[in-house]
Amino acid sequence: MAQINLNKRRNLWFERLMAIIAFINLCICLFDLSYIPWRDFYLRKVPQITKVYDKVKGIEPHRETENYLANVKLLEEQVSQTGLKSSESATQLEELRRLSGEMIDGNPFAAVNKSGTLEKIKNRMRDRTSVKSAKRAFDTFWSQAYLSENGWNQEIAFFNQKIQPLIATDYYRTIGENGEFTDNFWRIDLPFVILFALELLTRCFYTRKRNPSFSWLDAVLWRWYDLFLLIPFGRWLRIIPVLVRLDKAHLLNLQPVRKQINQGVVANFAEELTEIVIVRLINQIQGSIKQGELTRWLLQKENHSEYVDINNINEVEAIAGIFIKAIVYQVLPKIQPEIVAILHHNIDGAFNQSPIYRNLHNLPGVAQMQAQLSEQLSTQIATNLYNALVSAVEDPVAAKLSSQLLERFSEALGVEMQKKQVLSEIQSLLFDFLEEVKINYVQRLSREDIAQIIQQTRQMRSQASVTTVVSKSSALLQTRNKASGE
């Protein structure tokens, strides 16, 4: 026992270790998937990450936008050295106007699906200069007259705070020989994939060892969710095996989630399945009525060709015989005092309603004699009836006569019903009745609150579990008390 517990603890720690590794791998994969869409955020908040991870994604600074920002820096240095109105600053402003036109016409943001960023830059520049044309807005902004009139420091601060960060988000992404963007994430993911593949092979080996009838495919499918850890695409699907592993390692409790999923699945399918089953059953009964099986059953002249009898026994008659014997031999003897009491009460009532008895009732001893007589009569009647029933069951002749009576009754009923064409009317009414059941009652199933029904089922299971625990605890307590008494 101690060795088994030790093995369980070791397995649990191994499961936890692999679950944590899978969780780390999932986090890395999710970060990789988010890097391109969220690169602007990473660039603003944690630029150190972009310096490292840009290489993984083949991201390089775009030469056109880099050159544009470099010329802005040169202008700032030139203004600080020679002033805004110098010829050197004028030359640098002219260069920026030219580069602005090329940036608007060439749209270096389009290659990485960031054209919206360029539109945002143009809108901010239009709003700043109150010029509708984007090119003219840049020409106006990078002019000595505008910068002098509105203040150099104020305008360059606006550019560095509102325009420069947007231009800096542009980048160039290299393309591989396959025509796709460079993505070296597989180099980071490969060690994890190798580890998970070795683990899956080991698990499959032990699964086949414990279940010799399993093939390698069966063993792999036994851990089907681990396959998501090996595929190089759709890496976000690795959340499935990670959640399963965390649950099995007791690091995460998914029981409430499983309950909600099961409830959702059951709620979606319960209505349709219930309606399909009931409607199909009613349709089958209607089909049997249309085929005349009701007539053949009543007349008992022929058997249905598709009906299969597995034991050559009329189960209905056999069940009826069991019920009759149980009633005669087991039930009636137990309720005979109650039957006698009912008969005694009815006989007393008959005596009391008789005018002659009412006149004699005042004579001495008549009331006592009447009580004795009614008791004897009720007892005798009950006894005779019971003996008659026992005789009918045990006497072969009486049993045969009863069987002949029932058979003759059935034949006579069937013949009379057929003569008066009652059977066809009954069939029509039964068919219409079943159709009404489908329309009126089966449709009500869809209005039932399936979630509430599932909740009631869970409450029943919980109550049953509590009852079982209490019963086991009581039995254990009684066993301990007996042991202590001995």
Q: Is the pLDDT of residue 28 over 50?
A: yes
Confidence of residue 86 (pLDDT cuts 50, 70, 90): very high
Q: Is the pLDDT of residue 17 over 80?
A: yes
Rounded mean pLDDT, 51-66 = 93
pLDDT of 301:
45
Rounded mean pLDDT, 194-206 = 93
pLDDT of 439:
72
Percent of the chain's residues with pLDDT above 70:
68
pLDDT of 370:
63
Between 129-133, 157-161, 221-225, 331-335, the lowest mean confidence (pLDDT) is in 331-335
pLDDT of 49:
92
CA-CA distance, 3 to 78, in Å (whole number)?
Answer: 80
> Which pair of structure tokens corresponds to residue 350?
């008959």
CA-CA distance, 130 to 35, in Å (whole number)?
Answer: 36
Q: How many helices (H) and strands (E) does the chain have?
A: 22, 2
Q: Is the pLDDT of residue 114 over 50?
A: yes
pLDDT of 389:
72
Position with higher pLDDT, 453 vs 122: 122
Confidence of residue 431 (pLDDT cuts 50, 70, 90): confident
Dihedral (C-alpha) 337, 342, 347, 352: value to the nearest 10 degrees? 130
pLDDT digits (tens, 9 = 90+) for 340-374: 788 777 777 766 666 655 555 555 655 666 667 77
> Which pair of structure tokens corresponds to residue 357?
């008895």
Contacts of 139 (CB under 8 A, 6+ apart): 97, 100, 101
Return mean pLDDT, the chain: 79
